[in-house]
């Protein structure tokens, strides 16, 4: 959508933004009866309702979509068209002309790449990745996995091999991170976030294995 500043100014709000860009302070008369309606209208212009429906009966979550995010969508590898941009912003097709006129990005004539991730804004993908990793941490029994990895033989050698495996996994993760920029753009950040979380869980399981091996050494002494 347009920049946050232009949207706020369009609704005739005076505001101050702190240097860290994390807080906005609005100034308006305390007895102004139109404030609530104006704030609601302003929010509807800068937030999109989540495409991820949950059955907890709470109000649908809304996310901010910035001009920078739209620029990423209109660039490779996706190269969103005007129609795809309107769908991304969860706006009616009848609003396309007005929305495109206000955009600070230039859509392509034809979208080059679509996937299930195309429906989700970046903050939705961030939250989805967070939920996936939370559930993985909660329901994958790391100690049980570690016990399944224990093998017969020299314990010290097993610890050395496990530490070596951790180092290899860390190097692999770093190599992936240095080469997944396009993958991140295509998945709106979801792919890299889930992969990083997966590496974290694997490393946690390997650390549990090392603890189990050390415990075995203590018992044998």
DSSP code for 22: S
d(C-alpha 53, C-alpha 55), whole Å: 7
pLDDT of residue 66: 85
Query: 190-220 and 142-149 helices cross at what angle (nearest 10)?
Result: 60
155-193 tens-digit pLDDT: 999 999 999 999 999 999 999 999 999 999 999 999 999
pLDDT bucket at 111, cuts 50 / 70 / 90: very high
Mean pLDDT, to the nearest integer, of 50-55? 66
38-59 burial, b at 16+ Cβ within 10 Å, e below that, comes to: eeeebeebbbbebeeeeeeeee
**Helix, strand, or coil (residue 15):** strand
Q: Residue 74: what pLDDT? A: 96
What H or E segment, with its residue span, contains residue 24?
A: strand 24-27
Residue 142 has pLDDT above 90, yes or no: yes
Is the pLDDT at 60 greater than 90? The verdict is: no
Res 24: pLDDT = 62
| Per-residue DSSP letter, 59 | P
State the alpha helices, DSSP H only, in 81-187: 82-88, 96-102, 122-139, 142-149, 155-177, 181-186
**Banded pLDDT at 14 (limits 50, 70, 90):** low
Q: How far is Cα 77 from Cα 71, in angstroms, rounded to an integer? A: 12
Cβ distance 63 to 121 under 8 Å?
A: yes
**Domains of the chain: which residue ranges?**
4-114, 119-220
Q: Which one has a higher pLDDT value, 137 or 17?
A: 137
What percent of the chain has a predicted confidence (pLDDT) above 70?
76
Specify the pTM.
Answer: 0.76
């Amino acid at each position: 959508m347009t920049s946050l500043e232009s949207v706020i100014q369009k609704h005739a709000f005076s505001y101050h933004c702190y240097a860290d860009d994390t807080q906005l302070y609005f100034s308006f008369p305390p007895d102004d009866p139109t404030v609530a309606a104006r704030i609601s209208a302003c929010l509807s212009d800068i937030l999109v309702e989540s495409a991820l429906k949950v059955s907890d009966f709470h109000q649908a979550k809304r996310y901010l979509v910035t001009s920078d995010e739209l620029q990423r969508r209109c660039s490779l590898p996706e190269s969103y068209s005007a129609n795809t941009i309107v769908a991304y912003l969860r706006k009616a097709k009848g609003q396309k002309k007005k929305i495109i006129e206000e955009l600070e990005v230039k859509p392509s004539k034809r979208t080059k790449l679509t996937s299930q991730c195309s429906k989700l804004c970046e903050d939705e993908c961030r939250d989805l990745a967070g939920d996936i990793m939370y559930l993985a941490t909660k329901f994958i029994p790391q100690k049980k996995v570690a016990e399944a990895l224990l093998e017969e033989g020299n314990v010290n050698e097993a610890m050395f091999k496990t530490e070596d495996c951790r180092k290899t996994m860390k190097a692999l993760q770093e190599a992936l991170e240095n080469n997944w920029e396009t993958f991140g753009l295509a998945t709106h950040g979801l792919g890299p976030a889930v992969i990083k979380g997966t590496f974290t869980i694997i490393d946690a399981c390997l650390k549990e294995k090392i603890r189990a091996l050390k415990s075995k050494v203590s018992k044998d002494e």
